[in-house]
Amino acid sequence: LNITFILPDKNKITVAANEGDSLMQTAVDNDIEQISGDCGGCCSCATCHCFIDDKWKDKMLLADDMETELLEGAIDNMQENSRLACQIFLSKEHDGLVVHVPESDW
């Protein structure tokens, strides 16, 4: 399945992702440097913050309480479509997903 990352400088990178991988792992594997995934995906560092494209926001599962709490506590530029990429596990339904990558806060 293909995932497109739109970088802070508006460059687009489309990568092939594996089903079952997290969005964070996919970004790290493809050298998207603004998504560093420092905690390894255990929902404690927020260095995997990203924005889900508007066209996709209704198709995604919502963030759970733990993710929402971390987003609210750690992210200054949090928006309605903010997510932690390590909490999104990719399946066929995500083919074509577009993710906006914020400037790194770290």
Q: Identify whether the C-beta of residue 13 lies closer than 8 Å to the C-beta of residue 99.
A: no
Q: Which is nearer to ligand FES, 41 or 102 (CB)?
A: 41
Q: Identify whether the C-beta of residue 53 lies closer than 8 Å to the C-beta of residue 99.
A: yes
- Applying the rule CB under 6 A, the residues between 40 and 79 that interact with ligand FES are 41, 43-48
Could you give the angle at the alpha carbon of 57 between the alpha carbons of 69 and 12, nearest 5°? Answer: 105
Number of residues that bind ligand FES (CB under 6 A): 13
Question: Does residue 13 interact with ligand FES by CB under 6 A?
Answer: no
Residue with the CB atom nearest ligand FES in the bound state:
86
Q: How far is CA 11 from CA 50, 69, 72, 86, 101, in A?
A: 15, 30, 27, 22, 10
Q: Which is nearer to ligand FES, 10 or 71 (CB)?
A: 71
Residue ranges that bind ligand FES, judged by CB under 6 A: 24, 37-39, 41, 43-48, 84, 86
